[in-house]
Amino acid sequence: MKKFLALLLSALMILSLAACGNKSTDNGDKAEGAKSDLKVALVIGVGGLGDGSFNDILKEGVDQAQAKYGFGDYQLIEPKEVAEFEGHFTQLAASKEYDLIVCGGFDAIEAVSKVAKEFPEQQFLFVDGEVADCDNVKSVWYRDEEKTYCLGIIAAMETKADTLGIVLALDIPSLRRFSAGFIAGAHSVNPDLNINIKIVGGFADTTTAKELALTLADEGCDLVYVAAGGSGLGAFAAAKESQKFQCIGCDTNQCLIEPSVVKVSGMRLMQNSIVLGIGEKIDGTFKGGVAGEGFAEGSLDFTNEGSELTTSQEALDAARKAIEGIKDGSIKVPYTYEEIGFDF
């Protein structure tokens, strides 16, 4: 009997230790550095890595998730043209090798929607866009007008001219959110400011962006908000070479790209959405659907960290105060030109 009790006690101790060893962290995610056999593919936008903006954020998000959850090397796809998206998504889904395909951007929405319906067992995590009616796609879009409203406040309080400039990659609804918010924020400080917009025509045309930024400087702009992906690097180069104007960055901390000309930068924290989505896939809580995120969800911010240019504390404080107003609903930020009466 004593021998039997000893064996029973040993067995119970082994089971207890095994249970402790399999215990997950409180938030349901795997612990930092834990190993996962998750297979991930990342399809970035056209324009490639090194844009200091959208594509680099996508990769940063997957890299952070890889470090956190411990999955192995992932497949990286860099399309050269929008027409390539459908083929890449089809090939990845048909291979049945990947547990999750991470992607994003307005120009990939149509392709993802089509392929997701053709391969309902393949799950997608899509950021910066709305993919509707696909149960196997979790898509996150951002209230970018909120952060650009704050940037517009800073620009209006810092400009020494009567004209501000905006360089957009394309004239599309998602980017009109950026400019509408910026204009509304600037006009909340000074309704008499003129705001001129130039459209590059793409996300990877630094030459045209440089020319348009110089044109804005000639039109009297001393501050230019740049929301143009990789094309925006051309606007930064124009500011650096001409010394006629300063820039406001987009999506990431672009003050670090050109500290001598980028005064402040908006930040869209897509990497947080990617880490969260991959964590949900690993712990089994991943679900399809559409979610909009902004300041309230911790998905937007702005910074002047790393800039060699001075921004007044008064302007920064005013922008931070606006964030609180946006969060509590006392400030309603418009996101269309019609709402602000802007004729472009």
Q: Is the pLDDT of residue 32 over 60?
A: no
Q: Which domain holds residue 229?
A: 144-267+312-340
Contacts of 183 by beta carbon, 8 Å cutoff, 6+ apart? 152, 166, 195, 340, 342
Judged by phi (left if over 0) then psi (alpha if -120 to 50, else beta), residue 76 lies in beta
Residue 328 lies in a domain: yes
Tell me the pLDDT of the chain averaged across its residues.
90
Q: Are 77 and 108 contained in the same domain? A: yes
Q: Is the pLDDT of residue 215 over 70?
A: yes
Q: Are 87 and 200 contained in the same domain? A: no
| pLDDT at 206 (0 to 100) | 97
Q: How far apart are CA 254 and CA 94, in angstroms?
A: 38
Q: Are 82 and 173 contained in the same domain? A: no
- Is residue 326 packed enough to be buried (19+ CB in 10 Å), middle (13-18) or exposed (0-12)? buried
The CATH number of residue 219's host domain is 3.40.50.2300
Q: How far apart are CA 147 and CA 268, in angstroms?
A: 8
Neighbour-count burial for 260-274, b at 16+ CB within 10 Å, e otherwise: ebbbbbbbbbbbbbb
Give the pair of three-digit tokens for residue 151.
Answer: 């940037």
Q: Are 151 and 194 contained in the same domain? A: yes
Q: Are 194 and 131 contained in the same domain? A: no
Over residues 259-288, mean pLDDT: 96
Q: How far apart are CA 168 and CA 59, in angstroms?
A: 23
**Count of domains in the chain?**
2
Q: Is the pLDDT of residue 192 over 80?
A: yes
Residue 135 lies in a domain: yes
Residue 16 lies in a domain: no
| pLDDT at 21 (0 to 100) | 33
Residue 76 lies in a domain: yes
The band of 15, judged by pLDDT with boundaries at 50, 70 and 90, is very low
Residue 11 lies in a domain: no
Tally the residues of the chain.
344
Q: Are 155 and 134 contained in the same domain? A: no
Over residues 199-219, mean pLDDT: 97
Q: Are 317 and 198 contained in the same domain? A: yes
| pLDDT at 97 (0 to 100) | 97
| pLDDT at 168 (0 to 100) | 98
165 within 8 A of 223, measured Cβ to Cβ? yes
Q: Is the pLDDT of residue 4 over 80?
A: no
167 within 8 A of 212, measured Cβ to Cβ? yes
Q: Are 162 and 193 contained in the same domain? A: yes
* pLDDT tens track for 327-344: 999 999 999 999 999 987
Q: Are 218 and 329 contained in the same domain? A: yes
Residue 3 lies in a domain: no
Is the model more confident about 224 or about 20? 224
Q: Are 155 and 261 contained in the same domain? A: yes
Residue 22 lies in a domain: no
Is the model more confident about 15 or about 279? 279
Q: Are 167 and 259 contained in the same domain? A: yes
Residue 179 lies in a domain: yes
Q: Are 53 and 183 contained in the same domain? A: no
| pLDDT at 344 (0 to 100) | 76
| pLDDT at 34 (0 to 100) | 56
| pLDDT at 6 (0 to 100) | 41
The band of 7, judged by pLDDT with boundaries at 50, 70 and 90, is very low
